[in-house]
Amino acid sequence: MKFCSECAHPVHLETPEGDNRQRSVCKQCGTIHYVNPRIIAGCLPVFENKILLCKRAIEPRKGYWTLPAGFMEQGETLEEGAVRETLEEAGIEISAGQLLTSISVPHISQVHIFFLTQMDNSQHAQSTSESLDVKLFDMDDIPWKEIAFPTVKKTLRHYLEDLQEGHIQTRIFDIHFDERLARAKN
Amino acid sequence: MKFCSECAHPVHLETPEGDNRQRSVCKQCGTIHYVNPRIIAGCLPVFENKILLCKRAIEPRKGYWTLPAGFMEQGETLEEGAVRETLEEAGIEISAGQLLTSISVPHISQVHIFFLTQMDNSQHAQSTSESLDVKLFDMDDIPWKEIAFPTVKKTLRHYLEDLQEGHIQTRIFDIHFDERLARAKN
């Protein structure tokens, strides 16, 4: 942020009185511009013994498989965001079931939230402008090496573990930036 | 938002290509300015059979009692946000336990998240710049009519119900704007 979105004056970084961290502050109109983490809401859609995945048509991670999910919008509930994203990315209208995971990802200031959802016969997944392909995968055929994001991989793994145990859990955890992995990639 | 925070040019509302809702868009530099819901993270601190509440020193709802909670910051996990807010508002260093509630509040585009936390003898709650008073309340003495926010009231009620049942649950739900209540107030 370089300019005040209220009056167009250049902003500068300072710690406002009574605050304890730096914000973009406008000296002309006094506005303090707060920036906060964003929520990604999505679903893990299940039909019989299969899991629905979407092949991303958009960067980042274009061509990789993901669960339908995206940024929660103003005026939505978590479930409404997850349901809308599932329609936009997989072309199916579902309702959100149990919360599976709530994953803080602090190095990108996001929280990723996934709900379980049961599909029925009437729902025909199809590719959309956001997905090159949408496909039901047998539990044994999940393309683990082509999963787009760590939060999706963890959500899938936990769900499959819980299925075997016969008890689907709600899990709250974090994923932190892995420096070793970043170094290995460079 | 009136001006682009990247180049100071006036922004206007339009639906970007491939999108399905209006955003503030800058025609000069092309930046699309997204606005998304914010997360409030907090704790329900318990010591023996008492619950800790804070009397707000700041508007909104100054003088009303609340659980320590506030806006999650960039670079934090949900638990880190809840722990920091509890230190800032109640002066105690705790660690976050079980997730109690995740409450979508769509009419103000917020998600409120509360963790249970057990205090011990070493923790001495004290008033802070954000709290006029910080006090442990017996379960029977919760000042229900002076609770600051509906999400705090619901979190307290659910916790007390669960205590009686002997099983503390994680609850995911919504609170919607109540028009009748708003009319009654006006």
pLDDT surpasses 60 at B186? no
What pLDDT does A86 receive?
A: 97
ipTM score of the complex?
A: 0.93
pLDDT tens-place string over residues A43-96: 999 999 999 999 999 999 999 999 999 999 999 999 999 999 999 999 999 999
Q: What is the pTM of this model?
A: 0.94
Give the gap in angstroms from C-alpha A113 to the nearest C-alpha of chain B: 11
The correct CATH number of A1-34 out of 2.20.70.10, 2.40.50.320, 2.60.200.20, 2.40.128.20 is 2.20.70.10
pLDDT tier for residue A126 given thresholds of 50, 70 and 90: confident
Residues of chain B contacting A72 with CB distance shorter than 8 Å:
36-37, 111
Distance CA B30, CA B25 (A): 7
Contact A37 B39 (CB under 8 A): yes
Contact in structure between A45 and A134 (CB atoms under 8 Å): no
Residues of chain B contacting A40 with CB distance shorter than 8 Å:
none
Contact in structure between A17 and A23 (CB atoms under 8 Å): no
Structure token pair of residue B141:
């003495």
Contact in structure between B102 and B172 (CB atoms under 8 Å): yes
Contact B3 A1 (CB under 8 A): no
Single-letter amino acid code for the residue at B149:
F
Q: Where in chain B is the domain with CATH 3.90.79.10?
A: 38-181
Q: Where in chain B is the domain with CATH 2.20.70.10?
A: 1-35
What pLDDT does B124 receive?
A: 84
Tell which residue, A114, A180, A124, has the closest CA to residue A149.
Answer: A114
Share of chain B above pLDDT 90, in %: 87
Q: Which residues of A touch B (CB under 8 A)?
A: 1-8, 10-11, 18, 20-21, 33-39, 71-80, 88, 99, 102, 104, 106-107, 109, 111, 129, 170, 172, 174
Contact B3 A4 (CB under 8 A): yes
Q: 3-state DSSP call for residue A40?
A: strand
pLDDT surpasses 80 at A183? no
What pLDDT does B179 receive?
A: 61
What pLDDT does A153 receive?
A: 97
CATH number of B38-181: 3.90.79.10
Contact B170 A99 (CB under 8 A): yes
Residues of chain B contacting A6 with CB distance shorter than 8 Å:
1-3
CATH topology (fold) of A38-182: Nucleoside Triphosphate Pyrophosphohydrolase (3.90.79)
pLDDT tier for residue A182 given thresholds of 50, 70 and 90: low
Q: CA A75: distance to chain centroid?
A: 17
Contact B6 A5 (CB under 8 A): no
Q: Where in chain A is the domain with CATH 3.90.79.10?
A: 38-182
Structure token pair of residue B93:
């260093």
Q: Which one of A18, A111, A129 has the shortest CB-CB distance to B39?
A: A111
Q: Where in chain A is the domain with CATH 2.20.70.10?
A: 1-34
Per-position DSSP letters for B123-134, written without gaps between them: -----BTTEEEE
Query: How many C-beta neighbours within 10 Å does residue A46 have?
Result: 19
Tell which residue, A61, A42, A80, has the closest CA to residue A156.
Answer: A42
Single-letter amino acid code for the residue at B140:
D
Q: CA A72: distance to chain centroid?
A: 9
pLDDT surpasses 60 at A186? no
Q: How far is CA B161 from CA A65, A99, B61, B67, in A?
A: 42, 21, 26, 17
Contact B5 A5 (CB under 8 A): yes
Beta strand A32-33 pairing with B65-66:
unpaired
CATH number of B1-35: 2.20.70.10
Beta strand A110-118 pairing with A38-47:
parallel
Give the gap in angstroms from C-alpha A120 to the nearest C-alpha of chain B: 24
Q: Which one of A36, A104, A111 has the shortest CB-CB distance to B71?
A: A36
